[in-house]
Amino acid sequence: MKKVFPALAVAGLLTSPSVAQSVKRSDYPIQAVAFTKVKLADNFWLPRLKTNTDVTIPASFQRCEATNRVKNFEMAAAKSGKFATTFPFDDTDIYKTIEGASYSLSLYPDQKLESYIDELITKVGKAQEPDGYLYTARTIDPAHPHAWAGNTRWEKERELSHELYNSGHLYESAVAHYEATGKKNLLNIALKNADLVCATFGPGKRAVAPGHEIVEMGLVKLYRVTGKPEYLSTAKFFIEQRGQYKGYDPKSSDAWRNGSYWQDHKSVYDQKEAVGHAVRAEYLYSAMADVAALTGDQKMLASVDSIWNNMVTKKLYVTGGTGAVPGGERFGGNYELPNGTAYNETCASVANVYWNQRMFLLHGDSKYVDVMEKVLYNGLISGVGLDGKSFFYSNAMQIKNSAVFGQSEPERAGWFECSCCPTNLARLFPSLPGYVYAQKANDVYVNLFINGTTDLNVNKQAVRITQQNNYPWNGDLKFTVAPKSSADFNLLVRLPGWARNEAVPSNLYTFAAPSPEQVSIKVNGKAQPYTMRNGYAVLARKWKKNDVVEVALPMETRKVVANPNVRDDVGKVALQRGPVVYCAEWKDNDGRTSNIVVPAATRFTASYKPDVLNGITELTATVPVVKVDAANNSISTVQQTLTAIPYYAWANRGKGEMTVWFPERITDVDLITRKVEEKIVAK
Amino acid sequence: MKKVFPALAVAGLLTSPSVAQSVKRSDYPIQAVAFTKVKLADNFWLPRLKTNTDVTIPASFQRCEATNRVKNFEMAAAKSGKFATTFPFDDTDIYKTIEGASYSLSLYPDQKLESYIDELITKVGKAQEPDGYLYTARTIDPAHPHAWAGNTRWEKERELSHELYNSGHLYESAVAHYEATGKKNLLNIALKNADLVCATFGPGKRAVAPGHEIVEMGLVKLYRVTGKPEYLSTAKFFIEQRGQYKGYDPKSSDAWRNGSYWQDHKSVYDQKEAVGHAVRAEYLYSAMADVAALTGDQKMLASVDSIWNNMVTKKLYVTGGTGAVPGGERFGGNYELPNGTAYNETCASVANVYWNQRMFLLHGDSKYVDVMEKVLYNGLISGVGLDGKSFFYSNAMQIKNSAVFGQSEPERAGWFECSCCPTNLARLFPSLPGYVYAQKANDVYVNLFINGTTDLNVNKQAVRITQQNNYPWNGDLKFTVAPKSSADFNLLVRLPGWARNEAVPSNLYTFAAPSPEQVSIKVNGKAQPYTMRNGYAVLARKWKKNDVVEVALPMETRKVVANPNVRDDVGKVALQRGPVVYCAEWKDNDGRTSNIVVPAATRFTASYKPDVLNGITELTATVPVVKVDAANNSISTVQQTLTAIPYYAWANRGKGEMTVWFPERITDVDLITRKVEEKIVAK
């Protein structure tokens, strides 16, 4: 990360060459271009980031005040009162919102917001105990801590207390705030806490596998800012603690009893599949990628590689959602991807973005960015309504009026008591600029197609890259490359898997038919020959000021077919155009969608609708639908126009049916004989 | 039991008046008229009993020889060889078949069969160890017993060995053989084993809750034949051992881990619901009824009464089947009565007959016989094919071509390796004469409407009762009462719940509409006034030779509705006529039944078909059915004739769809998009 050295200077922490070396030695093979270096001007994303800044973040701070989350810190400072909220990890909503607000400040400078954050940071600092311990649920009244906290520090960390979870979010927040503002007030609170954690946990000291991972990622971030080896070694220590606890019953099928819920069922070196609570899991896997990259631990690398392969080939919904099982918000078995009860927690999509970004920085392969893009354009942004203040905690794959057993949330809600998802979105959205570009010496990677400019330093030469496109609706991408003066370097443009007839980089989903269209690339209007490397088109030339690169991606509507082991999707197709996965919603389809058939021959028309759902490309076709006349016990099939909208945009117009996977042919029907029951929401 | 005193005389065991007294004191309030006192001449049942005698019993003995079940006894006698079958409880197939054959001998005397049984008994006797222990899986080679047997006697009785289960079936068999033939050869083997069991288990001695109950019932039978108090007290001791084992995890939801699979999760005095493996459970509940009756234990009576109420109000299928859950062949939760995966083990129906007979003998209420009749005419006899040699282990409530997850057996099989059900039917069928009549002093109960005669002794006066009817197809019952000379006594004729608008004695199933017809009773052609007592019409008079009682039961076709808590049956109706529950089978309905709707207005025509399925009354009506044209993705509804047959008679004409519960109205359909998969059989 380019900021490391100045940061270390500012932080005044880079004391010995050995530490400096350790930092140098142990950075990622590829460097992400920091969010502070990228200015967005994008029609698709900027309005969302603006809504996040104007609505979500203020509403989140307001809620932290109204629900006494802030008061908890004030009471901890005063060492008096009674913990005023429900969960000990409620502290993290403040950290996560500060993190989001910090990223947001570099998009939209806001003096008032910045000083409000400083006030909050002061309150956080006052709640910190002299030795660095920071956990209001205990500090308020150590003699009578929250039930989950146990009687002494760390006592219940494995299963309940979330003390290290709070620390992890504190670190994430502190680094974002420091990088966005250069201020050290929150960073110093975090470092003081991290020094306590490192002094408390480690070989010959206290040991635990943190019940809810994230402290590992957080410690790595502190390490990358400060270069202090203890932070990295303690992160690795926590990761290696998994599978050490002997109190589980390996024979039990219960995820809590066998430890897999916490990814604590075996050593991470023996873990080869994505299991347990998806958010915890993907935070762990992110940290494993961090530690594998920064320590060169090949065994840990092998584990996280096979876990990723397991996830992407057997446990990923077509929308990029992960964590199929509501009970435990966790990964199911291989190919266990039911539509009716899909959980797909929004937080898991946030975690999946973190994880895949790290996998890319490790390996430099576009397949990780392909998965990240699938998550970003589908299963992640579905988590928040167009209003910016209603949220999905679980992201459904199907809503049916006739559902009589549990199904996922049919409409977005406000903040739950456990408001993990809103504040996770609040911190992810404004960090998006940090995911667009990456660099490795003379290789400049373009990962996401988001309008705006970035100023890079290639071979000590300033280079500005400007993107202009109408992605994801249009596949014509334009990049203007402007080195201060002519410069030799490679521009690596990601050619998305879907543009190369891969629905995802696995056999989990495939396109029903290969695209006849090919990707075309021109520079300054002339066809540009290029080689492919790990999914990137490598454009190698002496770049001159304002060279224009034009990339055309095939954008026809494609039918997606699932691996036949996914029971629920057998005989069905999903619709995808560019990176966007579509769904049919009741509102556009005469009130129903579970009655729609999409025969193999169906052809779709795509048309952009500026006034629909803040501007979307809509798909339409004429298809058979089944009509039931209950009064007369009669059923018939009629032709009707199917209108499909981007999956992310559903549930902004009231509650009703939604379908992602459509039957190609009806082989039979099950008669439904009861009146529609009140839907049972999975969460 | 009338036979007790002669039996004791023959057995030469009734030595002291105290024992005689103990027998007298502790008999059931009501006495069943023994199977030896009832001669059947019934068109419905006699052919079944004949098939059982001519086909099932010989085939069962043949299989016991062919599968080396007999050889196991020979090897045990020789103390050499290797246990030649799969399960230690394979011994019981011989005991159960001898039991069935013994009952059968009193229906159809057969010298050849009787001597074959004597040969078998000799082999059994030779396999018995000097101290009475009888368990071939250990005796063949005590140094290397069967894996389930453990290294020492009784060691694994709680969970695996079935040593006491074998003993229980031995006792049941020995008493039947003794009562049918008067011979003591098998009885003496049983008594020798029982004396060992009583010497081994009891207060201050070894203690265990037998893993598979039945030894308790068996010991009570030995007690009632011999009057030996130890047999009764040891039965009570075993029952009271339940809930004593401390090795379970009460918090586990796993029936094995929490002990409920074995009804071992709590003391029987605290058990209020029917739980766990249904056959084990109903054998236990039968024994609880025995012991409550014979010891006057009011607390045990209260438990078994509430367990029965739980079963009949929440865990009984409309066919009388019990044990909804395939995994563990066990009772589900309250109202957990799914049609698709219904297990309904045939052995559980056999056990349910035993249990309800005992509950009747305790309480004298017809509701127990109503449940017994429901089981006998539906869920029990469905267990064997018309050929007498194909069997259902589980009894389905629905077979659908479109079923993609597990469903019950779609067709009958031969003997499984674990051939519990065939041999259980072999012993139940010929014992049926013992369930028709009962007596308490001057009260003569008529429980089942089965043609034939019985010779009773009422007030030291001989009375012959003859039944002539065409039940269950016709509701006109005729009873000829012939006392040697005029005699005062009460004839109590059961008026079935269904004839009084009660589908079962509970709110679990009700009739859609009350029957307008009323029961009418005449004596010698004149309307006879009568009072009702516990579901019986009490006919009190001075009976003269050949008085004729005519009872007319309303026999229209009735629609049954389930309690709305039974999810699978919401909006559906079942069909019942008299005691017989009906189903639709693919063969009579254009190859499908899952597409049939039975609107509220549907009226049925009943017609007797002598040539169909050995003679049945068939129901027909014109109803809407749904037709799917897969090739054209089109669906429509057409009118078609629905033909329904008695549930017990299904699956005698090949494999295909079957439906018991019909939707009254289609509110919606689920589209099925995959090809029909190979059905997954629950067992």
Q: Between B635, B667, B668, which is nearest A637 by CB? A: B635
In one-letter notation, the amino acid at residue B50 is K
Name chain A contacts of B251, Cβ cutoff 8 Å.
none
A406/B contact by beta carbon, under 8 A: no
Q: Which residue is listed with tokens 């069922």?
A: A265
Report how far residue B365's alpha carbon sits from residue B251's, in angstroms, rounded to the nearest whole number: 38
Mean pLDDT across B345-374: 98
pLDDT given at position A401:
87
Banded model confidence at residue B21, pLDDT cuts 50, 70, 90: very low
* Single-letter amino acid code for the residue at A180: A
Does the pLDDT at position B22 exceed 80? no
Return the DSSP state at A211. Answer: S
Of A668-672, B498-502, B540-544, the range with the lowest mean pLDDT is A668-672
Cβ-defined contact of A670 to B672 (cutoff 8 Å)? yes
Strand A520-523 and strand B536-543: the pairing is: unpaired
Percent of chain A with pLDDT over 70: 95
* Residue A20 in this model has a pLDDT that exceeds 60: no
ipTM over 0.90: no
Four-residue CA torsion sign, B103, B105, B108, B113: positive
> For chain B, first and last CA: distance in Å?
38
Non-local (6+) Cβ contacts of B253 within 8 A are none
> pLDDT class for A405, splitting at 50, 70, 90?
low
Inspect the interface and report whether the beta carbons of B626 and A671 lie closer than 8 Å: yes
Asked whether the beta carbons of B328 and B255 are under 8 A apart, the reply is yes
Contact between B513 and B523 under an 8 Å Cβ cutoff? The reply is no
CA distance A558 to chain B (A): 20
Report DSSP state, residue B203. Answer: T
B563 in contact with A at a CB cutoff of 8 Å?
Answer: no
Mean pLDDT of A561-581: 96
**Interface contact A675, partner B, CB < 8 A:** yes
Quote the pLDDT of residue A675: 63
Split at pLDDT 50, 70, 90, the class of A630 is: confident
Contact B634 A624 (CB under 8 A): yes
Which residues have C-beta within 8 Å of that of residue A514, sequence separation ≥ 6? A501
Name the DSSP letter for residue B535: T
Amino acid identity at B682 = A
Provide the CB-side half-sphere exposure for B465 (13 A, CA). Answer: 32
Could you give the residue ranges of the DSSP H alpha helices within B397-439? 420-428
Average pLDDT over residues A415-424: 86
Q: Which of A274, A299, A292, A218 lies closest to A28 in space, CA to CA?
A: A292
> How many degrees, rounded to 5, is the angle at CA A592 between CA A587 and CA A596?
120
Q: What is the mean pLDDT of chain A?
A: 93
Pairing of strands A662-663, A572-577: antiparallel
B658: Cβ contacts below 8 Å, ≥ 6 apart: B396, B398, B399, B410, B583, B584, B585, B586, B593, B650, B651
User: Which residues does chain A have within 8 Å of residue B626's beta carbon, measured at their own beta carbons?
Assistant: 635, 669, 671
B406 interaction partners in chain A (CB closer than 8 Å): none
Q: Which two tokens stand for residue B120?
A: 């078998």
pLDDT, mean of residues A177-188: 97
Q: Helix A346-363 crosses helix A366-374 at what angle (to 10 degrees)? A: 170
Q: Do A626 and B637 touch (CB under 8 A)?
A: no
Location of structure tokens 């594998």 = A292
Residue contact A628–B675, C-beta within 8 A:
no
User: What are phi and psi for residue B17, nearest 5 degrees?
Assistant: -55, -35
Catalytic residues of A: 329, 420
DSSP symbols for B210-262: -SS--HHHHHHHHHHHH--HHHHHHHHHHHHHTT----S-TT---TTTSSGGG
If pLDDT is split at 50, 70 and 90, which confidence band does A402 have?
Answer: confident
Tokens of B328: 């563990």
Poorest-pLDDT segment among A175-179, B26-30, B322-326: B26-30
* pLDDT confidence tier of residue A408, bands split at 50, 70 and 90: confident
How is chain A split into domains, by residue range? 1-29+37-241, 438-494+518-552, 557-682
In whole angstroms, give the CA distance from residue B411 to residue B461.
Answer: 51
How is residue A376 annotated by DSSP? I
Q: Which helix (H) or strand (E) holds A509?
A: strand A509-511
Q: What pLDDT score was predicted for residue B5?
A: 32
Q: What is the pLDDT of residues A280-338, one digit of tens each?
A: 999 999 999 999 999 999 999 999 999 999 999 999 999 999 999 999 999 999 999 99
Question: What's the number of CA atoms in the CB half-sphere (13 Å) around residue B420?
Answer: 20
Closest CA to B652 of B588, B607, B571, B599: B588
| pLDDT given at position A404 | 62
Task: State the Cα–Cα distance between residues A349 and A232, nearest whole angstrom.
Answer: 25
What is the rounded CA–CA span in Å between residue A594 and residue A586?
Answer: 9
Contacts of residue A254, Cβ cutoff 8 Å, sequence gap at least 6: none
B340 reaches A (C-beta below 8 A): no
pLDDT band with cut points at 50, 70 and 90 for residue A264: very high
The identity of residue B331, as a single letter, is F
Are B629 and A667 a contacting pair, CB within 8 Å?
Answer: no
Q: d(Cα B433, Cα A400) in Å, to the nearest integer?
A: 54
Q: Which residues of B touch A636 (CB under 8 A)?
A: 635-637
Tokens read off for A683: 């969460």
Residue B404 pLDDT grade (very low, low, confident, very high; cuts 50, 70, 90): low
> Using an 8 Å Cβ cutoff, are A527 and A521 in contact?
yes
Please pick, among B420, B421, B583, B657, the residue that the annotation labels catalytic. B420
Are residues B100 and B110 in contact, defined by beta-carbon separation less than 8 angstroms?
A: no
Identify whether the C-beta of residue B461 lies closer than 8 Å to the C-beta of residue B442. Answer: no
Considering the segment(s) A438-494+518-552 as one domain, its CATH architecture is: Sandwich (2.60)
∠ Cα A137 A143 A147 (to 5°): 45
Q: What span, in angstroms and rounded, lies between the C-alpha atoms of B450 and B433?
A: 9
> A462 to each of A33, B24, B360, how far by Cα in Å?
14, 110, 97
B276 has a pLDDT exceeding 60: yes
Cα distance between residue B531 and residue B538, in whole Å: 5
Cross-chain CB nearest to A674 (options B595, B634, B667) = B667
Rounded to whole angstroms, how far apart are CA atoms B156 and B139?
Answer: 15
Identify all chain A residues contacting B668, using CB atoms and an 8 Å cutoff. 401-402, 594, 628, 630, 672, 676
- B571 to chain A, minimum CA–CA distance in Å? 5
Contact yes or no for B523/B539 (Cβ under 8 A): yes
A interface mutation test: which of B598, B623, B628, B668 has the most A CBs within 10 A?
B668
Confidence of residue A673 (pLDDT cuts 50, 70, 90): confident
Q: What is the pLDDT of residue A11?
A: 32
The span from the first CA to the last CA of chain A, in angstroms, equals 39
- pLDDT confidence of residue B459: 87
β-pair type (B572-577, B580-585): antiparallel
pLDDT at A143 over 70: yes
The edge-to-edge listing of strands for the beta sheet with B461-469 is: B38-40, B452-458, B461-469, B476-483, B547-552, B520-523, B526-527
Q: Is the minimum CB–CB distance between B633 and chain A shorter than 8 Å?
A: yes
Contact B389, B56 (CB under 8 A): yes
In B, which residues are within 8 Å of A666 by CB distance? Answer: 628, 630, 633, 635, 671-673
pLDDT class of B405 with cuts at 50, 70, 90: low
Q: Which residues of A touch B640 (CB under 8 A)?
A: none
Considering the candidates B282, B329, B345, B502, report the single residue annotated as catalytic: B329
d(CA A421, CA A380): 10
Average pLDDT on B424-441 reads: 96
Cβ contacts of B326 within 8 Å, gap of 6 or more = B341, B343, B394, B406, B408, B682, B683
> Residues B562-598: pLDDT tens digits?
999 999 999 999 999 999 999 999 999 999 999 999 9
How far apart CA A125 and CA A174 sit, in angstroms, is: 12
β pairing state of B487-494 and B443-446: parallel
- The predicted model gives A377-382 an average pLDDT of 97
Q: Chain A closest CA to B260's CA: distance in Å?
A: 17
Determine, for residues A669 and B671 on separate chains, whether the beta-carbon distance falls below 8 Å: yes
Under an 8 A CB cutoff, do A635 and B636 touch? yes
Whole-Å CA distances, A449 to A204, A355, A482, A520, B88: 49, 20, 18, 16, 70
Interval B100-147: pLDDT, tens? 999 999 999 999 999 999 999 999 999 999 999 999 999 999 999 999
Which of B401, B663, B672 shows the shortest C-beta gap to A673? B663
B669 vs A599, A670, A674: nearest CB: A670
| For testing contact with chain A, the best of B596, B673, B678, B680 (most A CBs within 10 A) | B673
- Give the CA radius of gyration of chain B: 25
- The per-residue pLDDT of chain B, averaged, comes to 93
- Which of A404, A670, A672 is nearest residue B567 as measured by Cβ atoms? A404
